[in-house]
Structure 1
Amino acid sequence: MDGVFLNGTVGVGKTTVADAISALEPAPHAVIDLDAVRRLHPAPASDVFNHELELRNLRALAANYRAAGARRFILAGVIEEAAEVARYTAALEADGMLVCRLVADPAVVERRLRARHSADPEGLDWHLHRAGELAAILDAAALDGLVVDATDAAPDEIARRVRAAAGWDGPPPRGGE
């Protein structure tokens, strides 16, 4: 596999774990926070989360990163439906992609969101609601190849587990492999 997709609800630690995987990864790689590549305001009514924009931007970024030498991709985002896994894999032009769902105790997620949105009460309310809603959606979808509890685990510990599950704990790929 040359792609890892960290999936999970808001506040679960996807970006933090992506950075931890990056710190351990010796192969040329790109870290992509999908929230950042879909920021367009206002979003069209037909695509309120800018999903289609995200995929178009991911395809372009992946091509540019590959041209610059990246052989592996670490994505932090949300996949709600099993059919979307193939679309992300295709956007990366990846040989395979491990979808790893991060989960955490709801009280921990709430604490993280309250810290992140301390000066934004409206945003906090939206994210607290979305966290529960999204957790239920992801539970029902059950599309992840690996599920890791991020409640108390250190990011580098989670990163090691994810890298092993993706087969990245061996020698890094060379050149065009």
Structure 2
Amino acid sequence: MGNSEVLLIGGRSGVGKSSVGWEVAALLRAADVGHALIEGDLLDAVHPAPPDDPHRSGITGRNLAAIWANYRDLGCRRLVYTNTASVLGSEESLFTEALDGPRVIRVLLTATDATAEERLRGRERGSELEQQLRRSRLMARHLDEHVPPDTHRVATDARALTDIAKEVVAVTGWR
């Protein structure tokens, strides 16, 4: 099909990636802009990891390609994709292969440690809260230091979800 575009929404745990992704999708629907939304975390939710794919990147790529093929067959050419590390340049080959060389738009959502912790404490009810807090702090620093220079940064602290999503949609030029 060609000419596909992917909006990558990344950021630390607790920054609001999923919420922003769903709100971006709602804004695009309201503007009658064709798109698909994929929550990247669901593409590799398998245990144990395949023996030949310990970091699950292979299964993620295969699942992304399969789902995108179905959306592409419906005429879709825009993808909104949420996942912590998706905005890293090292992840781009996943989308280049699965989406056949799309235009890539990266948005890094940011939040302070205090904001992310408050959000994580509000949503995590199980045994992984402390692990999520540790990973969130580490990943925030890693993303800040390693995203490509063309990555758009959008702060989420003390902002309405709709305002954040409007800023993200504006970056795409899709409306």
Using structure 1 for the length normalisation, give the TM-score.
0.85
Q: Is the 8 A contact 1:9 1:134 kept in 2?
A: yes
CA-based RMSD: 1.9
Structure 1 window deviating more from structure 2 (8-17 vs 42-51): it is 42-51
Query: What's the counterpart of residue 21 of structure 1?
Result: 24
Note the alpha carbon deviations across 1:129-173, whole angstroms, 9 max, x for none: 10011111111203252000011222221221112211112xxxx
Give the secondary structure class of the aligned counterpart of 2:46.
coil
Task: Name structure 2 gaps, 5 residues minimum.
Answer: none
Answer whether contact 1:3 1:94 (CA < 8 A) is retained. Answer: no
Q: In the alignment, residue 53 of structure 1 is paired with which amino acid? A: I
CA distance in 2, matches of 1:59, 1:40: 17
The alignment partner of 2:128 has SS state of: helix
1:82 counterpart (80, 83, 89): 89
Count of aligned residue pairs for this structure pair: 167
2:118 pairs with 1:111 = yes
Structure 2: distance between partners of 1:48 and 1:137 = 21
What is the DSSP-based 3-state SS (H/G/I as helix, E as strand, rest coil) of the residue aligned with 1:93?
A: coil
Residue 145 of structure 2 is aligned to residue 140 of structure 1:
yes
1:16 CA drift (Å): 0.4
Taking the TM superposition and a 5 Å limit, the aligned residue runs for 1:3-14 are 3-14=6-17
1:110-141 deviations in whole A, cap 9, x for unaligned? 111111113x1x30011011001111111120
The residue number in structure 1 matching 2:77 is 71
Q: TM-score, normalised by structure 2?
A: 0.86
Native 8 Å contact 1:80 1:141 kept in 2: no
- 1:100 aligned partner: 107
CA distance in 1, matches of 2:77, 2:9: 17
| Contact preservation (8 Å) 1:8, 1:103 | yes
Percent identity between the aligned chains?
33
Structure 1: runs of 5+ lacking an equivalent: 170-177
